[in-house]
Amino acid sequence: MTAPELETQILDAVDKFLERDVKPYVLEFEHADRYPEEMVEKMKSLGLFGSIIPEQYGGMGLPVTTYAKIVERVSAVWMSLSGIFNSHLIMAAAVTRFGTEDQKRKYLPKFASGEIRGGLALTEPNCGTDLQAIRTVARRDGDRYLVNGTKTWISNGIHGSCFALLVKTDPTAEPRHKGTSLFLAEKGPGFTVSRKLEKLGYKGIDSAELIFEDYAIPAENLIGGKEGFGLRHALGGLELGRINVAARGVGVAMAALDDSVRYAQQRETFGKPIAQHQAIQLKLADMATRVEAARHLTRAAAEAYDRGERCDMEAGMAKLFATEAALENSAEAMRIHGAYGYSKEFHIERYYRDAPLLCIGEGTNELQRILISRQLVARNPI
């Protein structure tokens, strides 16, 4: 089977899953903020938790270009589902790219099957974008480390069982990033989920606060086997994360557009469908253009990632544009739908609540602009 044929087969399977097992239940799960356990089991059987994990370790080994298309489709139906496997796959990517061979053999097959699921544990109560400012400390104690600190806004924190945990192994190191390390942290004594965090949107998926009190973690779980590379490993994973968030933005922007195009042909004012009013036509044209531009930027970033190139600028551009497109399209969709857009019986208000998160997560859009600018100068010296 050729690569395009395989991609078509996988995307068709994902579409059928979304149509049959997700779309009819989104409003129910969204309004109850209920974790979709049955949907997760279906995603396991589809292989989504191993989509980009190499085949030799039990995954599907899909290119990120295909993975981005999967995320776009899932997010157009219910964005929360994409977060359940996205954070998980960033953790898996860190192991794939930087882990020891023993770590790959031990963890990647279980990550791929969904037997072990989890995500990233980076953010802290006093530290978001500036990851060098983390305060969680891991102190060496024989053949293990003892971890103390708090992580917050951790996706899959309640239902996940293993996390890529960023800590300070040398709090006095200068520059600060040389004192960071990334561990695979499985739940156990000293690892506590203190509470579920309530959110404006992004319902269904659990976001939690994690507390570590003399949590013992084996030294063999230090990703790569050497201290001091944690920030590098985490940021390497965030390239993938930003492509994912960009794809989510495309999905949400597209859903807002599709619903608006449909509604504009059904709703009539002044004796004709509102799609025939110039004011609505201008909105639809801008919305469609944003979707296409966001999709092309996301694809370009994914292609660069697949080629093994540094793509923080491309991923940043895609993330910046696609998430702002989702935000703008969701607002315009609400205007087009009027009171119905404000109703919880429709999906528009969900897009409107979900979209702002995309502009914040995986590095704020303000940070993306700074990264893009710095890379632009670095790539074009005079």
The tokens for 287 are: 């919305």
* Rounded-to-integer distance, Cα 145 and Cα 143, Å: 7
The neighbour count for residue 273, using CB atoms within 10 Å, is 14
Q: Give the residue among 347, 352, 354, 345 at the shortest CA–CA distance from 331.
A: 352
* Rounded-to-integer distance, Cα 319 and Cα 296, Å: 12
* Rounded-to-integer distance, Cα 19 and Cα 13, Å: 10
Q: Which residue has the tokens 């050729």?
A: 2
**Backbone angle region of 270, left / alpha / beta, with phi > 0 → left and psi within -120 to 50 → alpha:** left
C-alpha distances (whole Å) from 275 to each of 271, 281, 341 are 12, 6, 16
Residues annotated as part of the active site: 362
DSSP 197: P
Q: Give the residue among 240, 220, 223 at the shortest CA–CA distance from 95.
A: 223
Q: Give the residue among 61, 182, 34, 59 at the shortest CA–CA distance from 114.
A: 59
